[in-house]
């Protein structure tokens, strides 16, 4: 018995809806209209003879069959994309000395690098992670081919690939006392987070004290989760046991943080595949907005 074919564009639309949580957001990811994405999902359900989404006027979620399909669909898309890259792009090979800031989606980075490695098996990554200032020093010293760092520290250089809101973070049970100076958890200078945190509080004349100074972002997270004080980080750093503080008059509004890639002119054959991969992979991530 011959079964009908599962068309790649139907699966791509399905995965986009599943990962973004809405047909509107998925339309932006796959560069189609919302109605076109809806039709593709309906066509997929027709071919499968199963519903993949539970839809109401207010909610959208995967059915059990949809959850099973999502894993297989991602594998099929990855296989399809790997084949197309093999035929349409020169194979990336060699060693890429890559520096990645600790700011860059800490919960997703290992998965992204693992998937990138599967797509480009002939490319070896010599990875360094750390603070943006240290990575930029290594890059400027020609010890790295490319870096993914905060734009502020890069002095406007590179291509912006990611923007994320900055938020005030505290432990879930942290007791706020607005009659006393804000207790801050911060990195040692030089640090743009530290500078923005101080400037923001000074703008509303909010007194503060340094309750904890950590040597890494992991240390900052641990101190905040442990209730030592409040800090300023990107929204992707929110984890279980933390809360985002929402009191504009005492915790002033914050700008977006931008992440940029440097190295396109230094190792274009190796860096371009990385940028293309990140742009595709991060398009549905709800904590960020990709640059055009």
Tally: H helices and E strands in the chain: 10, 11
The segment(s) of the chain belonging to CATH 1.10.10.10 are 8-87
pLDDT tens string, the chain, 292 residues long: the values are 677 888 899 999 998 888 888 888 888 878 889 899 999 999 999 999 999 998 877 788 899 999 889 888 988 988 888 788 767 766 566 778 888 887 776 666 777 777 777 777 777 888 888 878 888 889 889 898 888 887 766 566 777 777 778 888 899 888 777 788 888 998 888 777 888 888 888 888 888 889 899 888 888 888 998 888 899 888 878 888 888 887 655 577 777 777 788 887 776 667 777 777 776 666 544 444 333 3
Tell me, yes or no, if the pTM score tops 0.85.
Answer: no
Looking at the chain, the domain(s) classified CATH 3.40.190.10 span: 94-163+257-287, 165-254
Domain 165-254 listed as CATH 3.40.190.10: yes
CA distance 236 to 164: 8
Please, are residues 175 and 229 in contact by the beta-carbon 8 Å criterion?
Answer: no
Distance CA 193, CA 195 (A): 5
The CATH superfamily of 94-163+257-287 is Periplasmic binding protein-like II (3.40.190.10)
**Whether 14 contacts 52, CB under 8 Å:** yes
Q: Give the architecture-level CATH label for domain 8-87.
A: Orthogonal Bundle (1.10)
């Amino acid at each position: 018995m011959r079964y009908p074919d599962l068309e790649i564009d139907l699966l791509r639309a399905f995965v986009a809806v599943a990962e973004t949580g809405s047909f509107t957001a998925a339309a932006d990811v796959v560069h189609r209209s919302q109605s076109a994405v809806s039709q593709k999902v309906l066509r997929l359900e027709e071919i499968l003879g199963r519903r993949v989404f539970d839809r109401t006027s207010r909610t959208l979620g995967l059915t059990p069959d949809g959850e099973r399909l999502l894993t297989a669909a991602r594998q099929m898309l990855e296989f399809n994309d790997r084949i197309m890259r093999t035929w349409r792009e020169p194979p990336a090979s060699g060693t890429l000395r890559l520096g990645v800031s600790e700011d860059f989606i800490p919960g997703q980075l290992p998965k992204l690098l693992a998937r990138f490695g599967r797509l480009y098996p002939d490319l070896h990554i010599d990875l360094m992670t750390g603070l943006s200032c240290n990575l930029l020093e290594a890059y400027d010293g020609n010890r790295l081919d490319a870096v993914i760092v905060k734009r502020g520290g890069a002095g406007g250089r590179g291509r912006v690939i990611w923007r994320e809101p900055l938020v005030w973070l505290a432990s879930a049970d942290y007791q706020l006392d607005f009659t006393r100076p804000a207790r801050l958890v911060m990195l040692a200078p030089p640090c743009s987070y530290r500078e923005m945190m101080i400037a923001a509080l000074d703008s509303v004349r909010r007194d503060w004290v340094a309750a904890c100074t950590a040597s890494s972002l992991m240390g900052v997270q641990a101190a905040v989760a442990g209730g030592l004080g409040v800090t300023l980080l990107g929204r992707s750093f929110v984890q279980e046991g933390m809360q985002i503080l929402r009191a504009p008059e005492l915790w002033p509004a914050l700008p977006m943080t931008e992440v940029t890639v440097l190295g396109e002119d230094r190792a274009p054959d190796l860096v371009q595949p990385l940028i293309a991969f990140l742009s595709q992979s991060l398009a549905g991530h709800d904590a960020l907005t990709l640059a055009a």
